[in-house]
Structure 1
Amino acid sequence: MNLLKTLTAALMFGGSAAALAADTDTEFHLNELLKTDPQYQETWQDLVEDQERLPEWIMNLDGVAPPMKALEEDGDKFLVGEICEAQNCFNQRLYVAFSWDKDSAYALYVQLPEALPQGKAPSKYATQQWLGEPDEGIKEMLQEQLKKDPNWY
């Protein structure tokens, strides 16, 4: 019976339900992910250990995070999510993709100046930094997540 429910959910959600545990309604959030599975923690630490001057909230994925999504890029599955600094969500955000096997992680760190001119497009003033060595497909996938923000133009 569980198998039937899982297959139905996968068909209804275009396959993205596969990112969730097969027999639960678990939602993954970046700000909780490192605590749920040591493999995610190890992969994340491998990604950020050689980075210089990253804020503490990024190092620990500590902030505000909506549910993650299962996405495919060039036939590979990824668990993708976003997180932002709790006190400064608009100006400090991070988009992350973990490979399905939890062996790789990539991230896009987006910063906006504190004094963004009123009425100006945030995209014109943003600084973007890639973490890891994502290929063009992964870069595009993470940038698409950023573009889905209604305040990003």
Structure 2
Amino acid sequence: MTIKTLLAALMLGGSAAALAADTDGQFRLNELLSSDPVYQQSWQELVEDESRLPEWVMNLSGLATPMLGLEDDGDKYLVGQLCEEQNCFNQRLYVAFSWDKEDAYALYVQLPDGLPTDKAPSQHASLRWLGDPDEATQKLLLEQLKSDPNWY
């Protein structure tokens, strides 16, 4: 590895770490829409063209984990997870907002109720993309889903 390659890798890693440090834990999806009208507008533009979404998805009103600042292929995103309060494992939403807040993308994950514990959730899930994310953004959201230790 050349010195330039090593320096570039260190700089990239440092910028990703700085990005994560700037945002990690500061935001939750269920609070984001009320915190900034630009996020609210981006989310409304995403859901207005979608049909048959539950109320908790439309309003981002479920249980949320802290959001993360992530970078993928030079694009920065604020990424978070939300789930339906009464059925958190079976009804989930993974959302990525572009760093400029102008675009929102989501992965809506549904599992059938009563799925036996010996059945792999990944084999029985229904995945629905919202907002027409490109391949890189889909990969980013899928990585968030796959990071769940109960997802196999």
Cα RMSD (Å) of the superposition?
Answer: 1.7
Equivalent residue for 2:139? Answer: 140
Q: How far 1:19 moved relative to its partner?
A: 3.1
Does 1:51 pair with 2:50?
A: yes
- Alignment-mate amino acid for residue 131 of structure 1: L
- Alignment-mate amino acid for residue 145 of structure 1: Q
SS at match of 1:109: strand
Equivalent residue for 1:23? Answer: none
1:22-61 alignment runs, 5 A limit: 27-61=26-60
- Alignment-mate amino acid for residue 130 of structure 1: W
Question: Whole-Å Cα distance in 1 between the matches of residues 87 and 116 of structure 2?
Answer: 16
Identity of matched residues, % = 63
Equivalent residue for 2:64? Answer: 65
Question: Whole-Å Cα distance in 1 between the matches of residues 15 and 134 of structure 2?
Answer: 30
- Alignment-mate amino acid for residue 17 of structure 2: G
The structure with more helix, counted as a fraction of residues = 2
SS at match of 2:64: coil
Q: Deviations over 1:76-96 (max 9, x none)?
A: 110000000000000000000
Gaps of 5+ in 1: 1-9, 21-25
Question: Whole-Å Cα distance in 2 between the matches of residues 77 and 12 of structure 1?
Answer: 11
Gaps of 5+ in 2: 1-12
SS at match of 1:95: strand
1:89-108 alignment runs, 5 A limit: 89-108=88-107
User: Runs (4+) of structure 1 moved beyond 6 Å?
Assistant: none
Number of equivalent positions: 139
Q: How far 1:142 moved relative to its partner?
A: 0.2
1:2-13 alignment runs, 5 A limit: none
Question: Whole-Å Cα distance in 2 between the matches of residues 133 and 54 of structure 1?
Answer: 15
Question: Whole-Å Cα distance in 2 between the matches of residues 34 and 73 of structure 1?
Answer: 24
Q: Would the aligned equivalents of 2:16 and 2:70 in 1 still touch at CA under 8 Å?
A: no
Q: How far 1:118 moved relative to its partner?
A: 2.8
TM-score, scaled to structure 2: 0.87
TM-score, scaled to structure 1: 0.86
